[in-house]
Amino acid sequence: MGHGKMKLNKIVSTLAGTLAATLAGLCVAFSLSVTSSFASGDDETPHYPLKHPKEASWSFAGPLGHWDIGQLQRGLKVYKEVCSGCHSMDLVAFRNLTALGYSDKQVKAFAAEYDFPTGVDDETRSGKITDRFPNPFASKEEAKESNNGAVPPDFSLMAKARAPERGFPTFVFDIFTLYAENGPDYIYSLLTGYEDAPAGREIDEGLHYNPYFIAGDVLAMAAPLSDDLVDYDDGSPQTVDQYSKDISAFLMWAAEPHLAERKSMGFKVLIFLAIFAALLYFVKKQVWAGLKTEGAGNARSTTPAASLVSATPKTTSAKTTVSKKVVAKKVAAPTVKAKAKKASATKAKKPAAKRLKAGVDFIDDIELVDGIGATIAKRLQGEGYGTLTSIAKLSGKKMAEVADSVGASKRYEREEWQVQAREMIAGKPPRAKVDQDTVARLSAKAKK
Ligand code: HEC
């Protein structure tokens, strides 16, 4: 068992080492590639976006993220009053707006404010809740014409589609901070990031400088927002910053309406797994408990057995040269065999039992074991184990059974009954002080 454990330890440490080395290698490789791409990009091709998106705080960030319904309603207002003049959102239907806290009636009224072509001549009909946010332009060409040759992209998945690279080592930390908001961060930064072009940068008519734009330093959309452009009725500040945050959150909702449910489910699953892991641990402990104790018992019993053998020469040397030879063989035998020879070893020990020590006659009585009182001693005697020698030669398993039958299943190991018995057989004095009365009583009992 010990051997198997060592093997496992080796495998685990090898695996851990390999993993660590691989990670270290990857880190070095990444940092090298990043530095080199920066170095080469510096003078000729600039790296867009020129500025990394600002990190705003979002209610839907993190494992416990949730929607701020008020914010989503404000975002919808900004979209409807400003952005929808150019941007479609053709994966979001009006009926989806009930998720933002609107009643069916309100949604119906909202839909009715939009006009849809019937396909017959130039006739139009008002919107139904099953309609989707329409495209303000009849065709791509028309969209291009009114926007300096650029088509305003659809908004349905915008917050998911734009996610500027975070670069090394930020993306490594993102794994641990669970950062996943580069979409809304990008939109927010773009909307608040318009500024004057730096000196020397000539900008064509209809283009606008913005260092947060992902595909260049200029784009065809002029800053769409300005302070007090949209009226808020909940008292929120009517600033470009607030509008930008609200529309970005709204676009995140449009792109992933079930984000909050997904997160709360994930959190519940994690809690479940944690509890489950704890339960598994305790079950494992319970299942292995018996086997472990037995193993420990065996391990303990081999040591005293070995000491029994090694203690033999001292005691027998005085006797005869013949037994000396026998003992010498026993000592030379490997420890594995020591167990098998335990029975004969204890036989060889018997002469030692007659020794005197520390003024106390060696008395082969179980009561001399520290911890065993008169009651337990009597019970043991009743079972046929009244002597130290009878206990010393028991196997760990048998000892456990005997102890159990006299009602000392927990104590015998803690008090080391067998170890004590073997010590005394080997010539050591009893662990506890034994007074003269007890000596007299026990030796009288032994003579009977
Ligand atoms: C007057 C029309 C117009 C309005 C109004 C407008 N946009 Fe745009 N938008 C455009 C055009 C055109 C582009 C394409 C720009 C380009 O690719 O150069 C664009 C692109 C974008 C992009 C994509 C940028 C990228 O990385 O490709 C985002 C995000 C965006 N607009 C957000 C908004 C938001 C939010 C609003 C409302 C607050 C809004 N727009 C209002 C015309 C408009």
**For 158-191, what is each residue's pLDDT tens digit?**
999 998 889 889 999 999 988 999 999 999 999 9
Residue 324 in any domain: the answer is yes
Q: What is the mean pLDDT of residues 426-447?
A: 81
My answer on whether 302 and 393 are in the same domain is yes
Q: So what's the pLDDT on residue 56?
A: 96
Residue 226 in any domain: the answer is yes
- Distance between CA 160 and CA 180 in Å, rounded? 10
Q: So what's the pLDDT on residue 429?
A: 84
Decide which of 194 and 41 is more confident: 194
pLDDT at 36 exceeding the cut of 70 = no
End-to-end CA distance of the chain: 47
Ramachandran quadrant class, 129 (left: phi over 0; alpha: psi -120 to 50; beta: rest): alpha
Residue 283 in any domain: the answer is no
Read off the pLDDT of residues 121-155 as tens digits, 9 standing for 90 and up. Answer: 889 999 999 999 999 999 999 999 999 899 999 99
Residue owning the nearest CA to atom 12 of ligand 1: 152
CA of 104 to the centre of ligand 1 (A): 30
Residue owning the nearest CA to atom 1 of ligand 1: 86
Mean pLDDT across the chain: 82
User: Shortest CA distance to 364 belongs to which of 447, 446, 448?
Assistant: 446
Residue 312 in any domain: the answer is yes
State which of 207, 225, 257 marks the end of a domain: 257
My answer on whether 191 and 247 are in the same domain is yes
My answer on whether 371 and 434 are in the same domain is yes
Residue 108 in any domain: the answer is no
Mean pLDDT check: name the lowest of 43-47, 233-237, 426-430.
Answer: 43-47
Residue 223's pLDDT band, with cuts at 50, 70 and 90, is: very high
Q: So what's the pLDDT on residue 355?
A: 44
Residue owning the nearest CA to atom 19 of ligand 1: 152
User: Shortest CA distance to 305 belongs to which of 222, 399, 240, 386?
Assistant: 399
Sign of the alpha-carbon dihedral angle for 410, 412, 413, 414: positive
Sequence-separated (6 or more) residues with CB below 8 Å from residue 139: none
> Burial level of 405, CB count in 10 A (0-12/13-18/19+)?
middle
Element of type H or E holding 22: helix 2-41
Sign of the alpha-carbon dihedral angle for 66, 69, 74, 75: positive
My answer on whether 26 and 55 are in the same domain is no
Residue 186 in any domain: the answer is yes
Evaluate: CB of 87 within 6 angstroms of ligand 1.
yes
pLDDT at 193 exceeding the cut of 90 = yes
Q: For the chain, what percent of residues have pLDDT higher than 70?
A: 75
Decide which of 440 and 171 is more confident: 171
Sequence-separated (6 or more) residues with CB below 8 Å from residue 325: none
Q: What is the mean pLDDT of residues 251-280?
A: 96
CA of 222 to the centre of ligand 1 (A): 8
- Number of domain units in the chain: 3
Residue 307's pLDDT band, with cuts at 50, 70 and 90, is: very low
Read off the pLDDT of residues 390-406 as tens digits, 9 standing for 90 and up. Answer: 888 888 888 889 988 88
153, 185 contact by CB (below 8 A): no
> Burial level of 9, CB count in 10 A (0-12/13-18/19+)?
exposed
**Letter string b/e over residues 156-167, b meaning 16 or more CB atoms within 10 A of that residue's CB:** bbbbeebbbeee
Q: For the chain, what percent of residues have pLDDT higher than 90?
A: 48
Sequence-separated (6 or more) residues with CB below 8 Å from residue 166: 52, 174, 179, 182
CATH of residue 168's domain is 1.10.760.10
Residue 276's pLDDT band, with cuts at 50, 70 and 90, is: very high
pLDDT at 434 exceeding the cut of 90 = no
- Backbone φ and ψ for 61, nearest 5 degrees, come out as -80, 155
My answer on whether 238 and 386 are in the same domain is no
162, 187 contact by CB (below 8 A): yes
Q: So what's the pLDDT on residue 433?
A: 81
Mean pLDDT check: name the lowest of 78-92, 215-229, 305-319.
Answer: 305-319
Nearest atom within ligand 1 for CA of residue 243: 38
Q: So what's the pLDDT on residue 35?
A: 47
Q: What is the mean pLDDT of residues 234-263?
A: 97
By residue count, the chain amounts to 448
Read off the pLDDT of residues 8-22 as tens digits, 9 standing for 90 and up. Answer: 666 666 666 677 777
CA of 153 to the centre of ligand 1 (A): 7
Evaluate: CB of 206 within 6 angstroms of ligand 1.
no
- Distance between CA 160 and CA 156 in Å, rounded? 9
My answer on whether 74 and 217 are in the same domain is yes
76, 97 contact by CB (below 8 A): yes
Decide which of 311 and 252 is more confident: 252
> Burial level of 177, CB count in 10 A (0-12/13-18/19+)?
exposed
Instruction: State the DSSP string of 231-276.
Output: --SS----SHHHHHHHHHHHHHHHH-TTHHHHHHHHHHHHHHHHHH
- Backbone φ and ψ for 90, nearest 5 degrees, come out as -85, 10
State which of 198, 228, 257 marks the end of a domain: 257
Nearest atom within ligand 1 for CA of residue 220: 18
Mean pLDDT check: name the lowest of 108-117, 300-309, 407-416.
Answer: 300-309
For helices 417-425 and 396-405, the axis angle rounded to 10 degrees is 110
Domain that holds residue 40: 1-45
CA of 263 to the centre of ligand 1 (A): 30
Residue 290's pLDDT band, with cuts at 50, 70 and 90, is: confident
CA distances from 114 to 83, 131, 136, 164 (A): 14, 10, 10, 34
My answer on whether 203 and 319 are in the same domain is no
Evaluate: CB of 89 within 6 angstroms of ligand 1.
no
Evaluate: CB of 191 within 6 angstroms of ligand 1.
yes
My answer on whether 375 and 422 are in the same domain is yes
pLDDT at 302 exceeding the cut of 60 = no
pLDDT at 317 exceeding the cut of 80 = no
pLDDT at 334 exceeding the cut of 80 = no
Mean pLDDT check: name the lowest of 17-26, 187-196, 257-266, 376-385.
Answer: 17-26
My answer on whether 146 and 172 are in the same domain is yes
My answer on whether 370 and 405 are in the same domain is yes
CA atoms within 13 A on the CB side of 416: 12
- CB atoms under 10 Å from CB of 418, counted, come to 25
Residue 78 in any domain: the answer is yes
Residue 427's pLDDT band, with cuts at 50, 70 and 90, is: confident
166, 182 contact by CB (below 8 A): yes
Sign of the alpha-carbon dihedral angle for 354, 358, 359, 363: negative
Q: So what's the pLDDT on residue 33?
A: 52
My answer on whether 199 and 72 are in the same domain is yes
Residue 126 in any domain: the answer is no
State which of 229, 257, 285 marks the end of a domain: 257
My answer on whether 146 and 244 are in the same domain is yes
Q: What is the mean pLDDT of residues 315-335?
A: 46
Q: So what's the pLDDT on residue 141?
A: 95
